[in-house]
Each structure stands twice: as C-alpha cells, then as structure tokens.
Structure 1
Amino acid sequence: MNHRRHFMRNFVAGAAGLWIPGAFAEALTLTPRQTEGPFYPTDLPLDTDNDLIIINDSTNPSLGEITHLSGRVLDENGAPIRNAVVEIWQTDQNGVYLHKGSDGTEKRDGNFQGFGRFLTGSAGEYYFRTIKPVKYPGRVPHIHFAVKMKGREKWTTQLYVKGDPANEKDFVIRNIKDAAQRESVIREFKPIPGSKAGELAVTFDIVMGFTPQDG
C-alpha cells in the first residue's frame, strides 16, 4: 500500500516538472463542454482516490489495459488552475458503470473503482491510473470528466480514444460542431516503452473558457 502511494506521488511530481510556464504560448482551443450523462455514480465508492485499478489495500487489480491518464487544467490564456477537483468515471472492462441503472450490473468488475478524484497542483496538473475505456451499447469508448471549483458550477466533458472508427458516428462527439474542439477531446492512448504489462499513457489538457481573475 505504501509503495503504491509512493509511486503515485512520484509520478505526479515528475510529470509536473515537465510543465514549464510560457511553454504553451500558442492559441489554445477551449475544451468543449459535454453532457454528464446518466451514469455519474449513484453511490460513491469508499475509495475515491486517483488509482482506479486498486481499491483500498486490495491485492487484486481490475481487468483492462492499465492507462496512465494525466494532464493540466488551464484557463483560456494557458495559466494553470490550481486547487480544482477533477473527477473521472467510466465503465469497467465489461462495459458496466458503477451505477444501479447500468446494464449488466451482475457482470461488474468488483476490483475496478469506477470513479476517482484528484486536486490539481500548482501547475494545474492531475493524474489518474485507470484502464483504457471500452465501448458499451450505444456509445464509443470514453471517460467522463467533471471539474469542480469553489464558487462555480460543475463543468463536464468526455475524453475519447483516437483511431476508434466508431467515433465519427457517435452522437455526443458529432454534437461538437467546432472541428478543433472536437479533435481536442480525441486523444491517443500510447504504449509506454518498456512496459512489460503493456501499459498505456494518454495526456488530456482541459482548457476552461475563463481566467482565474473572474473569481
């Protein structure tokens, strides 16, 4: 358990060191707001940390392709937004949400947390260890995101897998009319060189349409 927490802290600290203020001065594309969907957990799990692969001190990991999901929460000028709560939720490897209304609840992977939270740091960074999303009836693979900040309404979006041929037909993706915004939420899940377990990594920066000075 302590080894796991140590690894998570070191991963975030190392990633944060790569984010240099002013290194992304080009015009930023605002991340499109998308529907929360019907499957935000009805009952939050007892473990709501940023490692969805292992629940509490269990020794049994979840099924699925382990994915290191990281990024930053930025304002429209590229400045980091710190102390924002980033939440993610998604189906398990069997396509089942941590929700009473999800189809196939009898098949749900009890070792998959299904939901996680992370408080952004000084560079606006966040990190989760989760699985590569899978499709379920009616939708392409995706991960739901919510960003919560003091004094502001919860803001939601979704992340998709680049290269999935079904993306072009997905009704939620098609509802994003701006091409640049649409591409900004479709990211590549890349194999991590040297990973014997076939782990993946994906980076997803969330650009909010306001500046921290707004309050």
Structure 2
Amino acid sequence: MSGPLFHLHRRAFLGALGASVLTSPALFAEQLLRTPPLTEGPFYPDKIPLDTDNDLIVIGKNTTRAVGEITHLTGKVLDINGAPAKNVVVEIWQCDANEVYLHSSDSIPKVKQQDKNFQGFGRCTTTEKGEYRFRTIKPVPYPGRPAPHIHFKVKKGNRELLTSQFMIRGHAGNARDGVFGGVRDVIDRELILVDFKPVKESKIGELQAYFEIVLGLTPDEKDMNLRR
C-alpha cells in the first residue's frame, strides 16, 4: 500500500471505507493496521546466492542489468504502535521478467528462459528509522499466479517475524489470483496492494513503489503465526 493509509488507525481506516465493513468492535483498536501474513510459496531460494544485496538488477560487478522495468522499492518496518523496527532484515524474492524464480525446481527446467542477470533475491537491514530500500524490477504474472507479486520476509537474527507478499494495485490479474482471493478481509486486501508510479525525472522509464510493513508483534515478542 502507498504511504498515507499505513498511518491511519483502524477506526479512521474503516470510517474511510464506509460503515458497510464494520463487523466487529475489535476493529476499533487504536493501533496501526498490521500487514497480513501470507504463504511463503514454493520458491524461496533453495540455495542463497553469493550476492544478496539490495540491488537485484545487477549481480556483483556485472555491467549488464536485468531485463524488466526498473523499480525503486522503499518503505519502513514499524510495530503496531508506529515505532520503527530498526536493524531487522527485510528479504525479498520474485521471478525474473521471463517468469523464472531463483529456485532449482524452477530455474533448472527453465534454464534457457532464465534471465541470468537478475539476482532474484535480496536483503536489506533497516535503518534507525526502520527504513529499507531495494532496486528491483516490476513484478510480472506467470502461469498459476496471474497477480504480479513480490514475496518478502522480515527477520531478526534467526527468527522470522513475518512472511508475506504484496501485489500491484489495480492489476487485472488480482481478481483471478488464488492467493489474493484467499484474503477475504477487505482491509487486509488494501494492506497488500502497492502503487507503482513513474519516476518523473527518469529518462529510462523507472518506477517507484512504497510499502510500509507493520509487524503484529514487536521483534522481542514471539514469532507471528499465519492467520489462515
């Protein structure tokens, strides 16, 4: 989701959506809207690459960049009270522009199709303000997942605090996607939709996307479990 809605408390957010979605007094809790956990999927890398930095479109010292629409993905990781989650690790992974993941069960059968210049996986440690930043490509759909998406995890040490994914706001494939369709709550759906907007000063058609991650529990509490 783009920035402003992430700072709304649940009461204000529901008011903006309208009375029709008011279904439980618990919805009025005065806290930030928590990012819903979603399935990890089958393609978290089975072999972590040597290059795991936050620039996914260039591997190591290569000069050839990955195919796809360059996207500057930025955001913050917060707890439900709005405090920054500093020094946590955000991981992202996604398929390349040719629909191939960095996972042997996908990349080996599609070795000729794979974009060897796309890193496919990256990590970024949040700043004191909870900020993270990646350079990647705009996600693309593939057979079985009509909604383009980026997977992500938030970790502190060896502990996973959240695993989820986000989709492109307004993409036609969202309506046919099984994972997105499995998110029944209208508010939770809003929380996993992101706007991809043109970078005005870019001469090569770069995009920017902003996504705030709100943890249901602070990094010092027990790991989150999937709601579903």
Q: Which amino acid aligns with 1:128?
A: F
CA distance in 2, matches of 1:168, 1:138: 13
Name 2:217's counterpart in structure 1: 210
Name 1:168's counterpart in structure 2: 175
Q: Is residue 62 of structure 2 the alignment partner of residue 58 of structure 1? A: yes
List gaps (5 residues or longer) in structure 1: 1-18
Q: TM-score, normalised by structure 2?
A: 0.80
- Deviation, 1:191, is 0.3
Name 1:107's counterpart in structure 2: 113
Q: TM-score, normalised by structure 1?
A: 0.85
Please identify runs of 4+ aligned residues in structure 1 that moved more than 3 A: 23-27, 150-154, 211-215
Q: Is the 8 A contact 2:8 2:33 kept in 1?
A: no
Q: Is residue 183 of structure 2 the alignment partner of residue 179 of structure 1? A: no
- Deviation, 1:171, is 0.9
Name 1:16's counterpart in structure 2: none
Name 1:29's counterpart in structure 2: 33
Greater Rg over alpha carbons, structure: 2
Q: Deviations over 1:28-76 (max 9, x none)?
A: 2110000000001111111100000110111100100000001111101
Q: Alignment identity in percent?
A: 53
Name 1:148's counterpart in structure 2: 155
Two-structure CA RMSD over aligned residues (Å) = 1.9
CA distance in 2, matches of 1:173, 1:50: 26
Q: Which amino acid aligns with 2:59?
A: I
Name 1:81's counterpart in structure 2: 85
Q: Which amino acid aligns with 1:184?
A: L
Q: Which stretch shifts more, 61-70 or 98-107?
A: 98-107
Name 1:189's counterpart in structure 2: 196
Name 1:48's counterpart in structure 2: 52
Question: Aligned pair count?
Answer: 194
CA distance in 2, matches of 1:208, 1:198: 33
Q: Is the 8 A contact 2:9 2:33 kept in 1?
A: no
Q: Is the 8 A contact 2:162 2:215 kept in 1?
A: no
- Deviation, 1:25, is 6.5
List gaps (5 residues or longer) in structure 2: 11-31, 223-228
Judging changes above 3 Å, is the alpha-carbon distance between structure 1 residues 48 and 213 closer, same or farther for their aligned structure 2 residues? closer
